[in-house]
Every structure is written in C-alpha cells, then in structure tokens.
C-alpha cells in the first residue's frame, strides 16, 4: 500500500505539493489561535470532591482586597517616601534587596491607597508586580511560551550545522525543516478544532512543537538517507523514491504509530492536563507521518539529484564499521559495556519522588525577586498564608437560618482544633451572634455596611445554601503536613455536618495533592500501556516476539537508568539544579516519550538487520550490516533530538530544564548504548532464535 501511494505521490508530485501548500495556508488562522480554547490549568480531576469545592469557591464575590506588590528598580528609602505620599505606613514595606521591596498590606491598608502608590511608582520610572499564586501562574505560563520560542532560536544554529553534517548537503537540510514546519502547523490547526469540543491543557503546545520538530527531522533523515543511498547506486529517481518509502518509509510508519500510541497512553491520566499532552503529542506524530508519506516523496521526486546541491566532502572514518565488527565478534564484551554503564544508574531509580509544587514560587530560580518576595511574605505572615485551604459547605438550610450558622460555628471550632491549623477565617469568629448573621444574610440591604461587606467573603450572592471558610496551615503549601491537613479535613468534615450536606476542602493545595496522588496511582498503568504498545508494534513490525520482548526489557533498563539520573540531578542537585522532588506534571511524560521514541530506532535497526537475512546471509553478517549502515543515522537522529531537548536549558524554570536533561539522557542512552551495543550483541548471541517466530524465508 505504501508503494502504491508513493507511486501516486510521484506521478502527481506537483499537485501533492500544491495541495500541501494550500492546506498549510488555509489552516494558518486556526494554528495561530490554538491557545484560545485551552485551559491554563487542567490539573484537577473533574469528578472529585476537591474540584467541586474549588468550583464552589469561585461563586464567592469577595470585596476587592489591596494587592501584595513587589516594587522593582527602587531603593527601600525611595519606596517608603512614595508610600507616605499615598498614605501608606512605612511598616507595610519590607526590604528584599537593594532594588526590590515588598509591599505587604496591613488590615488598615485600602485598595485606593495601593492604586495611588502604584501611580506614583510608575511616574518615577519604577515598576510593580503582583505577588500572588495567580500572578506566579501567569509568569510561569509566559516563561514556558517564551522558552519555546527562545529555545528554538537558540537551537537553530547548532541544529543547522548538525543537519548539514548528518545530511551531507545544503539542499537536503531543507527537507526535514519543510516536513517539521508542515507537520507542526497542521497539528496545531487540528488541535484548535479539537479544543472546541474537548477541554485540553495549554501545555500541549510545547509537546506539539518539540515532537513535530524532532520527529519530523528524524523521519526525514531515515527516508532521505535511504533515497540518497539509492541514488548513489545509480538507481533511477522514481525507483529510488519508491524503494526508500517501501523500506525506510515502512519502518517510519510502524515507529510513528508506536510513538503516537505510546503518547496516547497519557489519556489514562484522566484530566485535561494529561488529555492535552496525549492528544497534542499523538496529533503531532500523525501529522508528521502524513507529511513524510505524501509531501516528502513528492518533494524527493521533484528535487531528485538536486538534493546533492551544496554537498560536503565528509571524511568517512569507518567508525560504525569498526563498532559493528567489534559488536559482532565480541558480543559478550559489548553487552557487558552497555550493562555496566546503565545498571549503576538504575540502582538509584527506587529513590525517585514526584510532587508538583503547590507553592508556584518554588518553580522559579532561587535568585528570582518574585520568589524572594513570596518567601518574605511567608516569613512575615506565616508559611501557609500564601495558599489557604478553602472549605466549601453546602448545607440543607439556607444562610438566612440560625441553624446554618450554628453548624458553621461548630465546624469552625473543629477546624481550629486540628493540630496543623494556624487560623480559621470564618464569619463565626467575628464575635457576631448566629441570629444576627442569619438576619444579615437574609436581608443584606438592611444590614450594616461593614458586616455586609465582611460576610460577602464567605457566602455566594446567588447560592443561599453555600458557605466557605478558609483554613491557614502552620506549614507552607509544599509541606507534606499541609497536604495531610487537607486530607484530614476531607476525611472528617462529613462527620461534623447534618444529613444531606456536602462539603470538601478545595484550593491549590488540595487540587495539586489530588493531582499528585492520581498521577502516582496512574503512572504504572500509563507505563504498562506504553509497554504493551511497544510489544505489539514491534511484533507486527519485525514478526519476532523475542525481539519485541528484548526491546521492552532494554527500554525498561533505559527508563530505570534515566530515573536514576534524574534522582541524582534533581534530588541531589547535580549540575546546579535545586534539590527538590521531580515534578509530577513532567516525569510520566519523559518515560512515555522514551518508550515511544525508542521504537523509531529499534524498528529501523531491526529492519536493516532482517534485509540481509532475507537474502540468506548469516545472523552475524546481518547484524554487522545493520550496525554499520544505520549507526551514524540512528545516533545522528538521536543527537538532533538531544539538541532540541537541551535547548530547554535556557529556561529559568527547572521543570523545563528537567524535561530537557531527562529526555536528552534517555535518547543518548538509547541510541549509543541500547541500539549500538545491547540489541546487536544480544541478537548475535541468540542467533536465529533472536527473531523467533520470524523466519528469514518469511517476508517482513
């Protein structure tokens, strides 16, 4: 079928290229609007009580509070002077550094005073930033988007040189870039359409960009290398295209489906965040496959031998022939080298610990002024002040009932008695009797203005059965004790309420605690699904159950070694990383991408080994042929992926740096150790049994 489609693409090459040009042009408006319907969070489980409680809190229309501010580019002395002009007490200002000051409002600070202060600051050429978890989330989202752009620009010069070296000519470099651009643009447009009907996370745009770029280049490399090899053998252009698509194109199809299905396993994460990464990644792969199996053969047929334009004279040091000879003549030594390099790192894997931080400031560098401002706020108001736990209660009686406020008072006392609670903000702690609270809630227009305003922080204007109180923990949002406090509240609160009530703890701490718990619970299932995909696809691609199982075993070894490497880098602070848990929002992604991308190199290598075996050659000779002919291509493709991933190191966010170093290590270990040493040496040792039940007389 691939050959038939290739003949069609060759015959109507100009039409295929024109159709792709029009398709890309027509879908640009969709692609540029891809983020319009994407959610910036998506970490919550939509069916959980925690999400219900968090949604209830959104109904509360609290009075505007004076914001906490970071004042930049001005000394404390100047800031205090500006504050006096606005009626602000010097006691609300706290020095962070020579040029940074924290404005932490007191109980007497008004919104008007802070706004007037901000105007004075701007007139003097300084600037202010909000210090809140919402502001931090916005900053992290912005930094993530900027990293995608900046890392791409940073990687391009290195990538261009590497592509020129790998492809060997200037004209050939344009092929992978064309496929990557066309595939990613089409994928983003498709996601825009999907997002109109399914809630997806905004973070999928990162995955689409990296996968479409890296995989598009890899697939183009595999196919065009075979095409140029055919041209070197003086094969006619059309026949060279058909042969390259029939062999390398077929391998790419199998590996692409494997990657897409492996990434699709993230759907088992069961929330908008994982759904976005799964759909975004899978769509990116399928878009690249569509481009490589339609646009690429048409362009190769159009360019023909002109792809040699700007060809470089590269000295062939016969490195892979030497490695191939060593692996096939000393398979035990090659196997031992690979295992010795991977097994020690794998022993650190059990120490891995994952948790997405509830205090978003800890995602920023230690030197970041905004992070320092949050730490100063915690030092003054208490560690838990930046992310109170909201306890939402839907009661059978309305807020106009005395019984409601008696229940709220009892719940407040229970919460105050919990050992890790610093304070509880509740209407019943104001010293106002329950009958008066009920009267004010029932007739707000007749109530005293101060009491009416205060009560608005706890009840919803259009939901007369909802009351929310706020618990401040003694410990910070990232502290395990705070998460345990949220869990205890959710476990106990049902016993404190009358029948037919519903209540739960919501907010940032419980949401991320729920996400961390769900991710840890689903991670084995996600990885298991990726492994099943790998076994099935490898068996179908090679006809060999043995090779499929070996591939999974070696992938598992690389996964353990990668986990151990990340333990050393993130948990132990290697290479300047902060010592902290691995982020639950990226760790499963690293392992799933590892399993998926490893299929690319595995299928290419095994197909190249099987080709000589079909001609009747011995296993050792076939393995030598496979390693010597694919070694530079596989490691070159791996280095291209590494350049793309390492570009993430320019980000100020450790979470993106973790993705970069984790995937880079995984790809390097997979291409240089597993595909170059472990798979070939094991195949030589097992001989024909390595491909059971496939037989050389059978067609692959």
Query: First-to-last CA distance in the chain?
Result: 14
pLDDT digit string (tens) for 179-209? 888 888 898 899 889 888 877 776 677 677 7
Q: Which among 586, 522, 507 is positioned nearest to 204, based on CA atoms? A: 586
Q: Do 17 and 73 share a structural domain? A: no
List strands edge to edge, sheet with 93-97. Answer: 93-97, 100-103, 69-72, 127-130
**């393995």: which residue's tokens?**
623
Task: Show which of 107, 130, 153 is a domain's final residue.
Answer: 130
What pLDDT is stored for residue 699 in this prediction?
44
Is pLDDT above 50 for 311?
A: yes
Assign residue 451 the CATH number of its domain: 3.30.70
Assess whether pLDDT exceeds 90 at residue 624. yes
CATH code of the domain in which 231 resides: 1.20.1640.10
Residues 498 and 541 in one domain: no
Between 487 and 167, whose confidence is greater?
487
Inside any domain, residue 281: yes
Q: Are residues 246 and 349 in the same domain?
A: no
Of 446, 471, 506, at which residue does a domain stop?
Answer: 506
- CB-CB contact of 691 with 550 (8 Å): no
**CA 66 to CA 69: how far, in whole Å?**
9
Together in a domain, 549 and 623: yes
Same domain, 356 and 330: yes
How many domains, in total, are found in the chain? 4
DSSP letters spanning 293-312:
IIIHHHHHHHHGGGGGTTB-
Q: Which of 482, 506, 530 is where one domain is finished? A: 506
* Model confidence at 112: pLDDT above 70: yes
Q: Which two tokens stand for residue 102?
A: 């924290």
Whether 228 maps to a domain, the answer reads: yes
What span, in angstroms and rounded, lies between the C-alpha atoms of 680 and 674?
Answer: 8
Q: What is the pLDDT of residues 448-486, one digit of tens each?
A: 767 777 788 899 988 999 999 999 999 999 999 999 999
pLDDT in tens, 241-281: 999 999 889 888 988 888 888 888 888 887 778 888 888 88
In a domain, 153, yes or no: no
Same domain, 410 and 489: yes
Looking at the fold, whether 672 and 526 belong to one and the same domain comes out as yes
Same domain, 475 and 520: no
pLDDT tens for residues 499-534? 999 999 999 999 999 889 888 888 888 888 888 888
Is the domain of 533 the same as that of 634? yes
Q: pLDDT at position 531, please?
A: 87
Phi-psi region of 505 (alpha: psi -120 to 50; beta: other; left: phi over 0): beta
**Quick one: angle between helices 13-32 and 2-11, nearest 10?**
100
Residue 117 resides in a domain: yes
Long-range contacts of 108-115 (CB under 8 A, 24+ apart): 109/66, 110/66, 111/64, 111/65, 111/66, 113/66, 113/86, 113/87, 113/88, 114/66, 114/67, 114/69, 114/86, 114/88
52 domain residue, yes or no: no
Please indicate, yes or no, whether residues 80 and 191 belong to a single structural domain of this protein.
no
pLDDT in tens, 360-380: 999 898 999 999 999 999 999
Structural domain range at position 531: 315-367+515-700
- Can you tell me which residue has the tokens 């600037």? 127
pLDDT at res. 450: 72
The answer to the question of residue 136 being in a domain is no
Residue 172: inside a domain:
yes
Mean of per-residue pLDDT scores for the chain: 89
Question: Do 465 and 608 belong together in one domain?
Answer: no
Residue 52's pLDDT is what? Answer: 94
Q: Mark whether 539 and 679 lie in a shared domain.
A: yes
Q: Is residue 576 part of a domain?
A: yes
């Amino acid at each position: 079928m691939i050959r038939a489609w290739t003949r069609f693409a060759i015959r109507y090459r100009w039409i295929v290229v024109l159709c792709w040009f029009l398709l890309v042009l027509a879908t640009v408006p969709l692609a540029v609007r891809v983020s319009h319907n994407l959610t910036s969070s998506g970490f919550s489980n939509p069916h959980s009580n925690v999400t219900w409680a968090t949604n209830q809190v959104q109904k509360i229309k609290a009075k505007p509070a004076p914001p906490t501010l970071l004042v930049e580019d001005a000394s404390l002395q100047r800031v205090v002077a500006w504050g006096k002009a606005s009626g602000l007490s010097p006691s609300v200002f706290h020095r962070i550094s020579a040029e940074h000051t924290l404005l932490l409002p007191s109980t007497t600070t008004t919104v008007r005073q802070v706004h007037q202060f901000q105007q004075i600051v701007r007139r003097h050429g300084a600037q202010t930033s909000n210090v809140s978890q919402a502001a931090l989330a916005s900053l992290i989202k912005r930094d993530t988007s900027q990293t995608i752009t900046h890392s791409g620009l940073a990687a391009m010069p290195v990538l261009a040189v590497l592509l020129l070296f790998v492809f060997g000519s200037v004209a050939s470099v344009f092929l992978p870039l064309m496929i990557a651009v066309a595939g990613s643009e089409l994928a983003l447009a498709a996601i825009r359409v999907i997002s109109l009907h399914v809630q997806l996370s905004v973070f999928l745009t990162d995955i689409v960009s990296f996968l479409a770029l890296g995989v598009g280049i890899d697939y183009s490399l595999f196919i065009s290398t075979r095409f140029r090899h055919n041209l070197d053998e003086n094969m006619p252009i059309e026949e060279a295209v058909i042969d390259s698509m029939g062999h390398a194109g077929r391998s790419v199809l199998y590996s692409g489906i494997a990657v897409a299905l492996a990434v699709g396993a993230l759907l088992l994460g069961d929330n908008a965040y994982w759904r976005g990464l799964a759909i975004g990644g899978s769509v990116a792969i399928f878009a690249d496959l569509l481009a490589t199996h339609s646009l690429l053969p048409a362009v190769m047929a159009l360019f023909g031998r002109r792809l040699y334009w700007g060809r470089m004279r590269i000295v062939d040091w016969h490195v892979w022939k030497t490695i191939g000879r060593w692996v096939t003549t000393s398979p035990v030594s090659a196997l031992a080298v690979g295992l010795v390099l991977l097994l020690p790192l794998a022993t650190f894997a059990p120490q891995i610990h994952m948790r997405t931080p509830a205090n978003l400031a800890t995602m920023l560098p230690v030197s970041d002024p905004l992070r320092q401002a949050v730490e100063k706020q915690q030092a003054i108001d208490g560690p838990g002040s930046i992310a109170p736990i909201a306890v939402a209660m839907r009661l059978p009686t309305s807020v106009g009932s005395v019984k409601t406020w008696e229940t709220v008072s009892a719940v407040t006392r229970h919460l105050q008695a919990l050992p890790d609670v610093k304070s509880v903000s509740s209407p019943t702690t104001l010293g106002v009797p329950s009958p008066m609270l009920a009267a004010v809630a029932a007739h707000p227009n007749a109530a005293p203005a101060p009491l009416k305003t205060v009560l608005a922080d706890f009840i919803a204007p259009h939901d007369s059965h909802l009351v929310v109180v706020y618990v401040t923990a003694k410990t910070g949002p990232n502290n395990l004790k705070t998460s345990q406090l949220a869990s205890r509240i959710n476990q106990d609160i049902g016993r404190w309420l009358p029948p037919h009530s519903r209540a739960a703890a919501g907010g940032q701490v419980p949401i991320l605690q729920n996400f961390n718990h769900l991710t840890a619970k689903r991670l084995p299932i996600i990885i298991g699904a990726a492994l099943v995909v790998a076994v099935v696809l490898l068996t179908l691609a090679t006809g060999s159950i043995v090779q499929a199982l070996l591939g999974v075993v070696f992938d598992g070894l690389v996964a353990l070694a990668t986990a151990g490497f990340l333990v050393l880098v993130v948990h132990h602070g290697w290479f300047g990383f902060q010592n902290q848990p691995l982020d639950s929002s990226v760790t499963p992604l690293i392992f799933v991408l590892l399993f998926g991308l490893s299929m690319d190199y595995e299928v290419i290598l095994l197909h190249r080994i099987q080709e000589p075996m079909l001609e009747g050659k011995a296993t050792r000779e076939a393995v030598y042929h496979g390693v010597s002919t694919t070694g530079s291509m596989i490691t070159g493709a791996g280095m291209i992926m590494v350049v793309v991933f390492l570009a993430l190191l320019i980000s100020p966010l450790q979470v993106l740096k973790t993705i970069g170093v984790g995937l880079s290590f995984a790809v390097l270990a997979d291409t240089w150790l597993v595909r170059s040493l472990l798979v070939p040496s094991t195949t030589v040792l097992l001989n024909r049994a390595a491909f059971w039940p496939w037989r050389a007389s059978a067609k692959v």
